[in-house]
Amino acid sequence: MRTIHVKTASADYPVHVGYDFLARFGSHLRKIAGKGAPKLFVLTSPEIWSLWGKQFQASLPAGNSFSVLFLPPGEQHKRFSQVERLATELSAAGADRSSLLIAFGGGIIGDIGGFLAAIYMRGIDYIQMPTTLLAQVDSSVGGKTGVNLSTGKNLVGSFHHPRAVFADVGILKTLPPRELRAGLFESIKAGIIRDPGLFRFLERNRDAILAGDPTALNRVVSSSVAMKAEVVGIDERESGLRMILNFGHTIGHAIEAATGYKKLLHGEAIAWGMLAALHISRSRAMIAEKDAARIESIIHAYGPLPRFRARVPALLEAAGRDKKNKAGTRRFVLTTGIGKSIVVENVTDTEMISAIEWTLREAAR
């Protein structure tokens, strides 16, 4: 088990990455709780609980009771109405300010659980126990929580860091292969923007990783988390460096929105968004062709990327609504080589349209 520390101005917590440590979770929990004996509440999905609930329960010390709250699967439940229902359930079950919430599930469980913990009684402690690769390498680290509005994803939320994150790659063996592949695009992103060693590891160990080899996944998850932890430690509130984590996300989010969040998984849309961003880097000649080719090649190696159709104005408009934009400027992340990225504010409409048109052509082939 490797432990990575996230240290920011407002938080300091460990991310434990390893495999098959769910059985030892109870002892970690005792350490976190210290002398207190907080009431425990587990937010999970019916599916995860049916697969892993028994092991979770068995790992807790005898007599350590807890309540289980369920969120049905699907992005359509990442809404205020569910947060209100869950908060009401917490309150009816006697949760108080010293209670501890454990978000045990994928990214939606983590985002809703974190937001619930952020606002219940103006903030209670919580633990992230991500069960998808995407949640392990990305959303469970960094303290961002949120829910969707009808006008866009994650438009409301809080910065609220967990007390600890437990990422057990052993749990990934019950993850559908397509979800594993989609999650890996965030690790590929980590390699592209800041970690050439991880990039090489992903290039060289594709088969073992896609086959779910725990040692290989352990390396991928821990390096991805370490990269993100470092970036978040430097820039917690996304005023500067943290923006690079958004590589591929401006156009990726727009593709998700334009396709109604149905056709593509998040990671797949980000893969297309990274190809689009790479197109801009290339046309600016700010990246060596050898590096650009390796980036293109690794993205396809972890595919296939689902095809999709969309209209240019819809994508352009959706990209303009990105919440990273500030007072009219368009912020955009470009790569300048393997492990290198920069944030620019001067991407023109013409460049955007050219990148979108190129992407749509690729996506229609």
* Angstrom distances, CA of residue 98 to CA of 33, 38, 40, 124: 10, 6, 10, 7
Examine the residue annotation and report whether 266 is marked as an active-site residue of this protein: yes
256 part of the active site:
no
Pick the catalytic residue from 144, 163, 181, 279.
144
Give yes or no for residue 327 binding a copy of itself (CB under 8 A): yes
Q: Are strands 100-105 and 40-44 parallel, antiparallel or unpaired?
A: parallel
* Burial of 191 from C-beta contacts in 10 A (0-12 / 13-18 / 19+): buried
Q: How far is the CB of 174 from a copy of itself (least distance, A)?
A: 32
| Interface residue with a copy of itself, options 16, 78, 144, 219 (CB under 8 A) | 144
**CA 263: distance to chain centroid?**
19
Contact letters (x/-) for a copy of itself, 184-203, by CB under 8 A? --------------------
The yes or no reply on residue 150 touching a copy of itself (CB under 8 A) is yes
Residue 30 found at the interface with a copy of itself (CB under 8 A): no
CA atoms within 13 A on the CB side of 71: 32
253 included as an active-site residue: yes
Could you tell me which residues are annotated as the binding site? 131-132, 144, 153, 186, 249, 266
Q: In angstroms, rounded to a whole number, what is the distance separating the alpha carbons of residues 352 and 158?
A: 30
Binding residues for NAD(+): 131-132, 144, 153
Q: Does 65 bind a copy of itself (CB under 8 A)?
A: no
CA distances, 200 to each of 2, 211, 309, 339 (Å): 20, 18, 32, 10
Given candidates 323, 345, 349, 364, which one binds a copy of itself under the rule CB under 8 A?
323
Q: What is the DSSP string of 211-271?
A: TT-HHHHHHHHHHHHHHHHHHHHH-TTSSSGGGGGGTTHHHHHHHHHHTTTTSS-HHHHHH
Which of 97, 204, 309, 311 is in the footprint of a copy of itself by CB under 8 A? 97
The stretch near a copy of itself (CB under 8 A) out of 56-64, 88-96, 175-183, 287-295 is: 88-96
Within 98-127, which residues bind a copy of itself (CB under 8 A)?
98, 115, 118-123
Q: Tell which positions 230-289 bind a copy of itself, by CB under 8 A.
A: none
Candidate list 163, 181, 194, 246, residue with the active-site label:
246
Out of 242, 279, 282, 330, which one is annotated catalytic? Answer: 242
Nearest approach, Cβ of residue 303 and a copy of itself (Å): 32
* Contact range with a copy of itself by CB under 8 A, out of 153-161, 174-182, 221-229, 288-296: 153-161
Give the span between the Cα atoms of 147 and 140, in whole angstroms.
Answer: 15
The span of 95-103, 266-274, 278-286, 291-299 binding a copy of itself (CB under 8 A) equals: 95-103
Residue 155 CA, distance from chain mean position: 16
Please give the size of the binding site for a copy of itself, defined by CB under 8 A.
39
157 touches 189 (CB < 8 A): no
Nearest approach in angstroms of CB 81 to a copy of itself is 7
DSSP for 159-200, written as a single string: E---SEEEEEGGGGGGS-HHHHHHHHHHHHHHHHHH-HHHHH
159 lies in the site for a copy of itself, by CB under 8 A: yes
The values of phi and psi at residue 333, to 5°, are: -105, 130
* 242 belongs to the catalytic site: yes
Shorter beta-carbon distance to a copy of itself: residue 77 or 144: 144
What are the CA-CA distances from residue 1 to residues 25, 55, 131 (Å)? 12, 18, 16
Catalytic residues: 122, 144, 186, 228, 238, 242, 246, 249, 253, 266
